[in-house]
Amino acid sequence: MMVRAKASYVRQSPYKVRRVLDLIRGLPVEEARTTLEFTNRGATEVIAKLLNSAVANAEHNNALDVDQLYVAEAYAGEGPTLKRFKARARGRAGSIHKRTSNIVIAVAELEESE
């Protein structure tokens, strides 16, 4: 059973978020937490909170064993873009695109193979 947690409209580019999500996808939860703790990227704080939320959902809502969980899915989609402008020379305007992300992390129990 997969349990998901989602964060919408995170003020971080999806490209930058995906680089961190690629590091933790498929790892056990404890190893993913350690990886996030020692990764020097801006998106790690939001992703760590989201991972903890997914684990809490799995433990509380579905009574899954926390020690048996791993990161089954981790992906970031593009949210709405805030469009701003910066004044340029000769009365022109340069566009600034402030990108947002919708991040989803799903955890599942490891299946024991005999």
What domains are there in the chain, each with its CATH number?
2-109 (3.90.470.10)
**DSSP letter, residue 28:** B
The whole-number pLDDT of residue 113 equals 56
Q: What pTM does this model have?
A: 0.90
Number of neighbours of residue 14 by Cβ within 10 angstroms: 20
Q: What percent of the chain has pLDDT above 90? A: 94
Chain position carrying tokens 């680089």: 19
Put residue 30 in one of left, alpha, beta given phi > 0 → left and psi -120 to 50 → alpha. Answer: alpha
Confidence check: pLDDT of 41 > 90: yes
